[in-house]
Amino acid sequence: MLFARKPRRITRILIAEDEPLVAFDTEHHLREGGFEIVATVDRVTEAVALIDQGVPIDLVLADLTLADGSGIEVARVASERGVPVLFVTGDCPSAARALAAGCLAKPYAPRDLIAAIDAIERVLEGATPKRLPASFSLFATPA
């Protein structure tokens, strides 16, 4: 097929979000975009347990504030395991640059979330992203 979409590198996503409506909307939009939701959790301990168990995860979406702590801890563990992280938060922490591939500011449009994931995927492939949403800060650079 001439215009077939190439397979995604990022397909399995772990969502760490403590706001139920935001989590539900994120799940919905990502599934509509063709992604698989590994799990949606609201606690650092749950996210870290999934990462430590070796559950196949291509990307972690992490809010900064979770029910039992900070998304920075989730990002630290994911980063140590080689799993890229996208912070989705109202206030991107200064520590994010060292731990995450990028940060998407809330509130965001669903298309901006998908575009941010696409940008991270392109960087992981060694390419330059085509378009960055205005509310997105990309920290990773092509190798």
The pLDDT value recorded for residue 133 is 92
What pLDDT is recorded for position 7?
A: 77
Query: What are the two backbone dihedrals, phi and then psi, of residue 122, each rounded to the nearest 5 degrees?
Result: -65, -40
- Residue-wise pLDDT tens digits, 50-101: 999 989 999 999 999 999 999 999 999 999 999 999 999 988 878 788 899 9
Domain spans in the chain, listed from the N-terminal domain onward: 12-122
Q: What is the mean pLDDT of the chain?
A: 91
Residue 143 pLDDT grade (very low, low, confident, very high; cuts 50, 70, 90): very low
Q: What is the pLDDT of residues 20-33, one digit of tens each?
A: 999 999 999 999 99
Helices 44-52 and 71-80: crossing angle in degrees, nearest 10, is: 10
Superfamily name with CATH number, domain 12-122 = Response regulator (3.40.50.2300)
Specify the pLDDT at position 142.
46
Tokens 């330059």 belong to which residue?
Answer: 128
